[in-house]
Amino acid sequence: MAAKAVIRFAVLLAAAMTIAAAPGFTQTNDPSLNQPRTDCVNGKDAAGADCAKDGGGASGNGAAQAGAVFLPALIVDLFPNPAEAPPPLPTPNPRNDQAGGTTPSEPTPPGGPIISPTDLITTEPPRAVTGEFVPDEVLVTVDGDANAVQQIAASFGLQVRSQRQSRLLGSTLVRFGIPDGRPVGVVLAQLAADGRTQRREPNHVYSLQQAAGIVNYAFDHITLDAKQANGENVRVAVIDTGIDDTNPALAGVIADQFDAMPGVPIEKRDHGTSIDGLIAGVGPLEGMAPGAKIYHARAFEGGKSTMDVILAALDWAADQNVRIINMSFVGPKNDLLGVACRNARGLGIVLVAAAGNNGPKAPYGYPAAFDGVIAVTATDAKDQLMPQANRGAYVFISAPGVEMVAPSGAGTDVVTGTSFAAAIVSGAIANLIHAAPDRSADDIEKALAATARDLGPKGRDNDFGYGLLDTKAAEAAKN
């Protein structure tokens, strides 16, 4: 009888272990899972179609995540791990543990087990991640201190690569590394199970908007008298590449500098030097707002940056009490960037961004497409639209940006792109603020829209926005 009881117990135990090992239907830990396969975990693709129609939404060839961008030289050493991280503490259990009777809102008992990433379930479907992004990182705002951050990392099998308090986001921003190859969209969905994670986003990649590379015709076309142009003491932040601050055009122009990626050597200085020069340059290559003070944040190398680096630059700019922030770059929509822009605008800062150089059929470019950001497209000496410019309802205003002479790291250059059109608008706005320091960001935006010279179909359109910037008319416009 005792032998039979032992056999029955062994059979029941094996059955129980088999049931416990069965994964939830939304689980996946396939390191080769690309985005279409992620979308099809629950049998439907991003559009809701049956994945069986195309073989399950993926080729099954182990391709890397769609849109993922590997930037080892840019990413690896930006924020090295702390030398001695505190040991993991007991953490909330992000799964329904039927055996223990706990729920996601109940803490694991002290000394309880740390969960393996393969044992996690999601409270929402895996996210479809669009645009370029760092393939082994996510950005998360956390409600809690450093101990909470370490607990989350331990619970979800992640690495803490950087963390800091963000002024514009109003919480702790953490850059988590994914060491085991899980797709970003899956990790974002898994993290949603922990109530301490407020916002969860990919670490998107953004690109500077320079399309090429004759006299600077911008003054005449935006009705700004070069002899009367003045941005004296108006603080303008520029988030861009490093600069050549020995260029004569920038003499006395740079009030302060910040390096948001100190672990990456500076190799390119042209783009940032041109942007600063077009805004406030001095000498033969005088900018739109001579006398303006530039607060320059280096956040790009090789024309690329990531969301966490850009957010650090934005926080620094906000701390400098600037009136204008120029963002001559474009990337995918990212909720963290949207919150930062909204809060910067709430501080009274005028935000100016390049609409993008990716062509008429390109998706909206961000940050330009966020509400409260002035999206600038580029026109040439004949007031024709730059062919490579993005189109869309978010385009706000046009400004010269095709084949203009500007200072660069090599001295001077002929530049083209919505990047440089954005700089022209930032310089023009500095003139408006100098003339009326109490003018609000809302009033400036309304004045630009009301006084722009219509170039396309009557009224605002997707190509030119409200039309060509008219600085003189905008300055005269009343509240």
3-state secondary structure the chain: CHHHHHHHHHHHHHHHHHHHHCCCCCCCCCCCCCHHHHHCCCCECCCCCEHHHHCCCCCCCCCCCCCECCCHHHHCCCCCCCCCCCCCCCCECCCCECCCCECCCCECCCCCCCCCHHHCCCCCCCCCCCCCEEEEEEEEEECCCHHHHHHHHHHHCCEEEEEEEECCCCEEEEEEECCCCCCHHHHHHHHCCCCCEEEEEEEEEEEECCCECCCCCHHHHCCCCCCCCCCCCCEEEEEECCCCCCCHHHCCCEEEEEECCCCCCCCCCHHHHHHHHHHHCCHHHCCCCCCCEEEEEECCECCEEEHHHHHHHHHHHHHCCCCEEEECEEECCCHHHHHHHHHHHHCCCEEEEECCCCCCCCCCCECCCCCCEEEEEEECCCCCECCCCCCCCCCCEEEECCCEEEEECCEEEEEECHHHHHHHHHHHHHHHHHHCCCCCHHHHHHHHHHHCECCCCCCCECCCECCECCHHHHHHCCC
Q: Which residues contact 157 (CB under 8 A, 6 or more apart)?
A: 115, 116, 117, 120, 179, 180, 182
Q: Could you give the residue numbers annotated as active site? A: 240, 271, 419
As beta bridge partners, residue 465 has: 461
**Rounded to whole angstroms, how far apart are CA atoms 465 and 376?**
8
- Tracing tokens 């205003």 back to the chain, one arrives at 397
End-to-end, the C-alpha distance of the chain in Å comes to 95
Q: Chain-centre distance of CA 55, in angstroms?
A: 34
| CA dihedral for 13, 18, 23, 29, sign (positive or negative) | positive
User: Can you tell me the distance from the alpha carbon of 248 to that of 256, in angstroms, rounded to the nearest whole number?
Assistant: 17
Q: Are 304 and 206 in contact (CB under 8 A)?
A: yes
